[in-house]
Amino acid sequence: MRKKIVVLMILLLCIGFSLFAQEGEYTPSDALDMIWLFLGASLVFIMQAGFAMVETGLTRAKNSTNIVMKNLMDFCLGAIVYWAIGWGLMYGKNALGGLIGASDFFKAPMDGGRDAANFYRDWFFQVVFAATSATIVSGAMAERTQFKSYLIYTCFISAIIYPISGHWIWGGGWLSELGFHDFAGSTVVHSVGGWAALMGAIVIGPRIGKYIKSPDGKTSVKAFPGHSIPLAMLGVFLLWFGWYGFNGASTLSGSSPDIARVCVTTTLAASAGTIGALFTSWIWFKKPDASMSMNGALAGLVAITAPCGVVSPGASVVIGLIGGILVVLAVEFIDKVLKIDDPVGASSVHLVCGIFGTLAVGIWGNVEGTAVGLLHGGGFHQLGAQILGVISVGAWAAATSFILFKIIKAITGLRVSPKEEMIGLDITEHKAEAYTGFQIFSNM
């Protein structure tokens, strides 16, 4: 009897809270969501440092100021344009039949109410995702891109390319209505950035000396080792750390019990990805390769980003492991077979594993009502939606970024001169060495 009264009281209380909420009161549950998304977004922000360290560590010392400057500026320019334009295209009210959002540009409510607070919260959480997508490209076009051209590109991806396909999936657009599932952004963030990276690497062409044709017609492929493996490793750890915010806080609610599953699958997939890449490189190249292992960690993280909320720990190990193996194959294929010069393997990590992770939802998905994959009796329904999403977002991101790079190339030029490339972009673009005082062999 007493229990029934208590239960009744709590029910009444919950109704009361929700009534209040409808009327715009800021509830304890809002407060929890606020600090959850705030801290999650801060974690995602530090991924910028992770990208900067990975990319500078895996490229040559003579270009290391240039690459960290690109990482800094793509966030800064991206944040401004994403506030001005991007948010409205991504989360504004549906226009053109759900193809874009079209409201809330330059949004700036000045009241202290619940709606304003939640808008600011959501914007902060979204801008760091947009910046992640943009910064993927800097590594793929490293060591040969004009600084000013990169700044132009980054404005367009953050203002237009990323937000529009983002709208289709997270902004209530047409793909979300078809049941496409991308929990934290294997497609929305990583494959969009990955397509742009691949298109950029294709349009700008390989670095001088990368592919050399010998008189007998054979092409030899040169590797340019990075200048600081410890910094690159630091970057991997920072990215992994930030990824807990990326995947974890993508529950969007601090009250969601799913947070726990997400962090476990993220941890296991990243671990398995590293192991997969380590042993693949060990068996194939006869050495436990450091840069492959680091890319393996990132591959596992990218691959689990879409399915992290709907798969079992065992499946996350399998997904990560496949991601780790895949990234080694992709790096070799893109480098040696396609002869596309992506200095840090960005397209292998973010595009190839982003696609794989998106499809993984349709294979290993295991949560009734959210995403049920092939292996758990879901048939081809979910997998079909995932394939459709991969293709349509891929077509959008590849086409627009290809055209964008072509236009930039035609108007301002995309690439530095051969002489500048040989000297190094730190001196030629920024008039300063990165490591003043150190004896460095700049032709390395």
Question: What angle (nearest 5°) sits at the alpha carbon of residue 304, between those of residues 50 and 243?
Answer: 30
Using the rule CB under 8 A, which residue among 105, 174, 211, 237 binds a second copy?
237
Contacts to a second copy from residues 181-220, by CB under 8 A:
none
Judged by CB, which is closer to a second copy: 344, or 398? Answer: 344
Among 189, 199, 202, 233, binds a second copy (CB under 8 A): 233
User: What does the alpha-carbon distance between residue 258 and residue 308 come to, in Å, rounded to a whole number?
Assistant: 10
| CA-closest candidate to residue 184, choices 286, 304, 273, 69 | 304
Q: Please, what is the minimum distance in Å from the beta carbon of residue 241 to a second copy?
A: 5
Q: Which is nearer to a second copy, 76 or 212 (CB)?
A: 76
Distance separating alpha carbons of residues 83 and 77, to the nearest angstrom = 10
375 binds a second copy (CB under 8 A): no
Per-residue binding string, a second copy, 286-315, x by CB under 8 A, is: -xxxxx-xx--x--------------xxx-
Residue 369 token pair:
């009502």
Minimum separation from the CB atom of position 14 to a second copy (A): 9
Q: Are 311 and 264 in contact (CB under 8 A)?
A: no
As a dihedral over the C-alpha atoms of residue 156, residue 157, residue 162, residue 163, rounded to 10 degrees, the angle is -30
Which residues in 75-94 contact a second copy (CB under 8 A)?
Answer: 75-80, 83
Binder among 6, 208, 212, 399 for a second copy (CB under 8 A): 6
DSSP string, 126-174: HHHHHHHHHHHHHHHTTTTB-HHHHHHHHHHIIIIIHHHHHHHHHSS-H
What residues are paired with 406 via a beta bridge? Answer: none
Q: How far is the CB of 98 from a second copy (least distance, A)?
A: 27
Q: How far is the CB of 259 from a second copy (least distance, A)?
A: 5
15-34: which residues touch a second copy (CB under 8 A)?
15-17, 19-20, 26, 28-32, 34
CB of 319 to a second copy, least distance (A): 13
Distance (Å, rounded) from C-alpha 273 to C-alpha 330?
A: 14
The yes or no reply on residue 73 touching a second copy (CB under 8 A) is yes
Binding residue for a second copy, selected from 192, 196, 272, 416, defined by CB under 8 A: 272
The residue among 31 and 391 lying less far from a second copy, judged by its C-beta, is: 31
Q: Which of 54, 65, 130, 190 binds a second copy (CB under 8 A)?
A: 65
Residue 419: burial class (beta carbons within 10 Å; 0-12, 13-18, 19+)? exposed
Q: Report how many residues bind a second copy under the rule CB under 8 A.
A: 137
When the beta carbons of 195 and 426 are compared against a second copy, the nearer one is: 426
Residue 55 vs 390, nearer CB to a second copy: 55
Q: Residue 88 carries which DSSP code?
A: H
Q: Does 5 bind a second copy (CB under 8 A)?
A: yes
Least Cβ distance, residue 26 to a second copy (angstroms): 5
Distance CA 56, CA 71 (A): 10
| Member of 149, 186, 280, 366 binding a second copy (CB under 8 A) | 366
Helix (H, G, I), strand (E, B) or coil at 344: coil
Which residue stretch of 65-73, 177-185, 186-194, 345-353 sits at the interface with a second copy (rule: CB under 8 A)? 65-73
